[in-house]
Structure 1
Amino acid sequence: MKTLKYIFALLFLSATFVSCSGDDENTPVAVNPVEGLNMIYEIPATDHTVQIYSEKQNLEVGYNEISIRIKDMANDKYVSNAAPTWMPMMHMETMEHSAPHSMLTNSEESTVYKGHIVFQMASNDTEYWEVVFNYSLNGQQKEEALRVSVSQPADGLKKTQVFMGSDDTRYILAYVNPKDPKVAVNDLQAVLYKMESMMSFPIVENYRITVDPRMPGMGNHSSPNNVDLTYTSATKMYDGKLSLTMTGYWKINLKLINTNGEILKGEDVNEGNPESSLYFELEF
């Protein structure tokens, strides 16, 4: 009889262990939707906070991908129906202007609103950037203004070009990817805007940007299998291929060509002309 009791006890413990293990396996693991990002700013308000995230440690001249979250302090939850908009503004000593920027969307994660801003210049002690956020919270419209610091890229490499085209239009071209270039054929991505006014910077569609990477320190040699940048309507960016055959410093020579085939900026690289006036820089 004692033997049977021991057997039943063991069976009960085994069943309990299996049940607990099964529960653990079926319990969903909480996913942090901003994992890997840095919270670079937080705007505290009376009943909520606005949190600003970036892959970078701080905002830089050029392309900045930014995520924001709005936390309702009343229920300690993040808001998924805030419908936020934003407007970057540079306050200079004699004028003010905005910057190219995308809309904020939460298509990937309901409580995380993502977008990008292309800052054309760094801030300083007397000239500064401010981002104004407008959004809805519990049926009320809110507005918060945040003064932000924008610095030159730490690596000192040029990844943003602000220039006047041969059509008398001012353009802003900014490098996006690859963030971590490799000795391979990399996916190359950039954004292109034009300046209509101090406050309006629409996206430029359906142009072409030729790609000719060179290594100035290695006889200015190029590489095979590069693909020119062309516009992708789904992402509203320009996509191409960048072939890097070795590590080191590369100058990615570019030419901007409009829909009529006219070169608006940049030149061919040849023996008499070692570089284009339109380019990005990489070093890895």
Structure 2
Amino acid sequence: MKLKYILPIICIVILSMSCSTDDDDTPQTIDEIAELKKIQDITTNEHTIELYSKSGVFKTGYNEVFIRIKNNTEQSYFENANIAWTPMMQMPSMLHSSPHSTISKVSNKKTLYTGSVVYQMTNTDGSGWSLTLNYSINGMEYSATETINVMQSAKQNVTSFMGSDDTRYIIALIEPLDPSIGINDITVGLYKMESMMSFPVVENYTIMLDPRMPGMGNHSSPNNTDLSFNSSDTMYHGDLSLTMTGYWVLNLKLLNTSDTVLKGEDVTESNEKSSLYLELEF
């Protein structure tokens, strides 16, 4: 083939490759909620507040919640919202809130915000709770309140108790969500009830851990470590050794900064379970 025919073919191939490369460089739309399930919407005349989690439900215990706010007129999501929230339970004779974090923008997300809430109880049908969100956008203040369902978790992953110091505490299991045989990172949240509306994090206490399998002679496991406070995430961390699958009771003892036991007892032959405990099964 003569050179005058070869050169035009080469140019066409190069141009085709260039166009293909340009197409590949087109920015892709990122689905910010791809791995989440919607819990529910809270709708006002102007906005729709979308609530998400990995499970798609509120449950007793620790809940990591994700939030988006949609402009109903433009069908777009706000990127500059400031959000605060208040969970509230209506009991027959009183109202009370629960431990809940501040809400912040999810790293590397444009429209997604996150926070955590601990529901310490619920009614048998999941009723009794409401959620209020106060938020501002471009200097304008808004508020929305809606009832929510909080389902009872299958195992005791949260407990509220009175310490020997006459303070009411709440302790909630955060990790492991998917336990496995071996050494698991265990994380719990510890809060105290200052009032019906205030549940601050308790710092620098110690949570002693003794996991047992009641169905297997109440045996324990090796290489557990007690939980200590981590100021970076304000949670308590330790090592949980699980030697086999099944139902485990995580026997706990809570010690204050003076190493005084506030709740819980040692597990012995005559005392098979601490009065302070959490549960898991896998």
Which TM class, normalised by the smaller chain length? over 0.9
CA contact under 8 A between 2:124 and 2:152: conserved in structure 1? no
Q: 1:126 to 1:181 in 2, by over 3 A?
A: closer
Match of 1:26 in 2: 25
CA contact under 8 A between 2:126 and 2:152: conserved in structure 1? no
Match of 1:174 in 2: 172
Structure 2: tracts of 5 or more residues without a match: none
Residue type of the alignment partner of 1:174:
A
Residue type of the alignment partner of 1:117:
V
Deviates more, 1:142-151 or 1:268-277: 268-277
Match of 2:134 in 1: 134
Once residues 179 and 216 of structure 2 are traced to their aligned partners in structure 1, the CA distance between those partners, rounded to angstroms, is 18
Root mean square deviation, CA, Å: 1.9
Q: CA deviation at 1:249?
A: 1.1
CA contact under 8 A between 2:181 and 2:245: conserved in structure 1? yes
Residue type of the alignment partner of 1:55:
K
Match of 1:230 in 2: 228
Q: CA deviation at 1:244?
A: 0.9
CA contact under 8 A between 1:190 and 1:238: conserved in structure 2? yes
Q: Deviations over 1:106-157 (max 9, x none)?
A: 152342211111111113679611110011123210000011011101xx21
Q: 1:52 to 1:250 in 2, by over 3 A?
A: same
CA contact under 8 A between 1:59 and 1:149: conserved in structure 2? yes
Once residues 126 and 250 of structure 1 are traced to their aligned partners in structure 2, the CA distance between those partners, rounded to angstroms, is 26
Q: Deviations over 1:70-116 (max 9, x none)?
A: 12244443222211000011112221111111111115234221111
CA contact under 8 A between 2:102 and 2:115: conserved in structure 1? yes
Q: CA deviation at 1:18?
A: 2.2
- Is 1:50 equivalent to 2:53 in the alignment? no
Q: Report the 3-state secondary structure (helix = DSSP H, G, I; strand = E; otherwise coil) of the residue aligned with 1:84.
A: strand
Once residues 51 and 168 of structure 2 are traced to their aligned partners in structure 1, the CA distance between those partners, rounded to angstroms, is 30
Match of 1:215 in 2: 213
Once residues 222 and 25 of structure 1 are traced to their aligned partners in structure 2, the CA distance between those partners, rounded to angstroms, is 56
CA contact under 8 A between 1:92 and 1:126: conserved in structure 2? no
For residues 78-157 of structure 1, the aligned pairs below 5 Å read 78-108=77-107, 109-123=109-123, 128-153=128-153, 156-157=154-155
Deviates more, 1:264-273 or 1:12-21: 12-21
Q: Report the 3-state secondary structure (helix = DSSP H, G, I; strand = E; otherwise coil) of the residue aligned with 2:11.
A: helix
CA contact under 8 A between 2:169 and 2:190: conserved in structure 1? yes
Once residues 125 and 219 of structure 1 are traced to their aligned partners in structure 2, the CA distance between those partners, rounded to angstroms, is 35
CA contact under 8 A between 1:65 and 1:114: conserved in structure 2? yes
CA contact under 8 A between 1:223 and 1:244: conserved in structure 2? yes
Once residues 228 and 56 of structure 1 are traced to their aligned partners in structure 2, the CA distance between those partners, rounded to angstroms, is 29
Q: Report the 3-state secondary structure (helix = DSSP H, G, I; strand = E; otherwise coil) of the residue aligned with 2:15.
A: helix
- Is 1:163 equivalent to 2:161 in the alignment? yes
Q: 1:178 to 1:220 in 2, by over 3 A?
A: same
CA contact under 8 A between 1:91 and 1:127: conserved in structure 2? no
Deviates more, 1:41-50 or 1:260-269: 41-50
Match of 1:276 in 2: 274
CA contact under 8 A between 1:211 and 1:228: conserved in structure 2? yes
CA contact under 8 A between 2:80 and 2:138: conserved in structure 1? no
CA contact under 8 A between 2:100 and 2:115: conserved in structure 1? yes
Once residues 13 and 224 of structure 1 are traced to their aligned partners in structure 2, the CA distance between those partners, rounded to angstroms, is 69
Q: Deviations over 1:144-188 (max 9, x none)?
A: 0011011101xx211111111111111110000111011121111
- TM-score, reference length from structure 2: 0.93
Residue type of the alignment partner of 1:205:
E
Once residues 175 and 41 of structure 1 are traced to their aligned partners in structure 2, the CA distance between those partners, rounded to angstroms, is 24
Once residues 122 and 5 of structure 1 are traced to their aligned partners in structure 2, the CA distance between those partners, rounded to angstroms, is 82
Once residues 166 and 150 of structure 2 are traced to their aligned partners in structure 1, the CA distance between those partners, rounded to angstroms, is 28
Q: Report the 3-state secondary structure (helix = DSSP H, G, I; strand = E; otherwise coil) of the residue aligned with 2:82.
A: coil
CA contact under 8 A between 1:175 and 1:280: conserved in structure 2? yes
Q: 1:272 to 1:124 in 2, by over 3 A?
A: closer
Residue type of the alignment partner of 1:115:
G
Residue type of the alignment partner of 2:87:
P
Q: CA deviation at 1:17?
A: 3.4
Q: 1:111 to 1:222 in 2, by over 3 A?
A: same
Match of 1:241 in 2: 239
Once residues 15 and 57 of structure 1 are traced to their aligned partners in structure 2, the CA distance between those partners, rounded to angstroms, is 50
